[in-house]
Amino acid sequence: MAEERHICALLRQGCGGCPLLETPYPEQLRQKQARVEALLGEFGPVSPILGMEHPWHYRNKAISTFCTGPGRRLDSGIYAAGTHRVVPVASCLLHHPALDEAVEAVRRAARLCRYEPYQEDRGTGLVRHVLVRHSRATGRVLVALVTAAPVLPGARAFVSKVRELCPQVETIVQNINPRRSSAVLGPREKVLWGRGYIEDTLCGVRFRLGASSFYQINPEQTEVLYRTALDGAGLDGTQTVVDAYCGVGTIGLAAAGRARRVLGVEFNPSAARCAAQNARANGAGNARFLCADATAYLQGMAARGERADVVFLDPPRAGSTPEFLGAVDRMGPERIVYISCNPETQRRDLRLLAGRGWKARLLQPVDLFPHTEHVECVAVLAKIRGGGM
C-alpha cells in the first residue's frame, strides 16, 4: 500500500472531515481490519481488508457552503466539526481535482454577479451551497448552485463565466431550497444549461447522475466492493436475484448480466424511477425496479410462496430489520449477500440470521473512505443444512 504522506492545513482549522489523515494509510487499514474482526469475527474468519493503492483524490462529489470571507468577500468551504462555522476550502486531498476547479469557478462567477451568501439564522441572502459531481468515465462535471430563492439574477452571466473558467463543466442546474434547515438540497430544480445530468460508468453499467442522485463517492473502490459481492453470490446466469434497498439500481444492474432475472425494490420514489431509467438506458430487459417498502414487499413474496436464488441487501447505517430478515429467510435463497456501511448494525443482523441457521461463507471488509473511520463489509451467507428457525 502507498506510504505517501500529505499535510493538510484544514485539519488545524477544525475541518474534521478526515480524522485519520495523519495516520499512515497501512495503519488505518490495520485499525479497520481489527475493528471488523472484533465486531464480526464471531461469525467466521475475516478476510484481509481491500484498500486503495493510491488513497487520495478519490471523491467524485463535493459540497461547498457559501460564507462571508475576509474583506466581506464571498467565499465557500465546509463546516468545522460540530459547528456551523464555515472553514474556507480552496482544495481538498480527497476531492478529484476537477471538483475543486469547478467550485473555484463558481465562487469567482458568484462574486462577479454580486451574490450574497445565505444567512441561516437571519433567513437573508441568496446562495447557500454548490454541489459538484465528477464522472470518471467522461471527465465531465455537474454543477448545482443551491439558492434560497427561485430567482437567480444574472443567471446567463453566471453560467457563461463558470463555463469560461471551467471547461470540464457539462451542465449547470439551480436547486431551490427555501427551508430553514441543514438539508443541502431543496425540492425544486431548474436546468440553467446543459442536460441537467452527467453520465458515469460503474461495473460496465452506465448511470445518469443528477444533483440529488445517490451514487457511491469512491467509484474505484465501489467496483471492488460490488465485484466482491457479485463473485460471492456465485451467479451463473440462471438465478433470480432480489436487490433490496436498491437505490438507483447500481448492484442490481451490475448483477443483471450474470443473472436470469433481477427484481429491485426501493422505497424512495425518485431513486426507484432512476433505477428503471437506468435499466432501460442499459438495455437490461431482465431487470425490473419498483417503488415499495422492502420489508412489506418481501413479506408478501414469502407469503405467496415466491422465492429468489440470491438476495442482495445494502441497507442504510441503521441496518435491516427482523421482519425483513425473517421474510428473506422464508423465501429460502441459496445465498444472502449483505453489504454494510456499518459493521455494528451488521453484527446485530448477522446474529439474527445465524439464529435462523445461516452461516457466513465470506466476510470481506473494503475501504471505501480512506482517512475516515468508515469501513464497508460484504457478508456472503448460506443456509446450514438442518439449521433451526
pTM metric for this prediction: 0.91
pLDDT value of position 167: 98
Q: What is the pLDDT of residue 168?
A: 98
What pLDDT score does 8 carry? 79
Please list the pLDDT of the chain residue by residue as tens digits (389 residues): 445 566 777 766 667 778 898 899 999 999 999 999 999 999 999 999 999 999 999 999 999 999 998 889 999 998 887 777 888 888 999 999 999 999 999 999 999 999 999 998 888 999 999 999 999 999 999 999 999 999 999 999 999 999 999 999 999 999 999 998 888 999 999 999 999 999 999 999 999 899 988 889 999 999 999 999 999 999 999 999 999 999 889 999 999 999 999 999 999 888 898 899 999 999 999 999 999 999 999 999 999 999 999 999 999 999 999 999 999 999 999 999 999 999 999 999 999 999 999 999 999 999 999 999 999 999 999 998 654 43
pLDDT at 31: 98
Give pLDDT, residue 182.
Answer: 82
Question: Which of the residues 18, 203, 341, 377 is marked catalytic?
Answer: 341
- Whether residue 209 contacts residue 135, with contact meaning beta carbons closer than 8 Å, is answered with yes
- Residue 57, C-beta contacts closer than 8 angstroms, at least 6 positions apart: 93, 94, 95, 96, 97
State the angle between helix axes of 294-303 and 322-331 in degrees (0 to 180), rounded to the nearest 10.
30
Annotated binding site: 216, 245, 266, 314
Q: Give whole-number Cα distances, 25 to 46, 57, 59, 91, 370, in Å.
A: 20, 14, 17, 20, 8
Verify whether residue 341 is a known catalytic residue.
yes
- Go through the domains of the chain in sequence order and give each one's CATH number: 13-54+218-383 (3.40.50.150), 61-202 (2.40.50.1070)
List the one residue out of 221, 234, 217 whose CA is nearest residue 337: 234
pLDDT for 12 equals 66
Dist. CA 76–CA 93, nearest whole Å? 17
pLDDT of residue 120: 82
Please report the pLDDT score of residue 389 as a whole number. 36
CB 122 within 8 A of CB 111: no
CA separation, residue 283 to residues 30, 264, 360 (Å): 42, 16, 34
pLDDT score of 151: 97
Identity (one letter) of the amino acid at 378? V
310: which 3 cell numbers?
A: 440470491
Binding-site positions for S-adenosyl-L-methionine: 216, 245, 266, 314
Q: State residue 154's pLDDT score.
A: 97
Residue 387 confidence (pLDDT): 44
- Closest of 159, 17, 25, 37 to residue 89, by C-alpha: 17
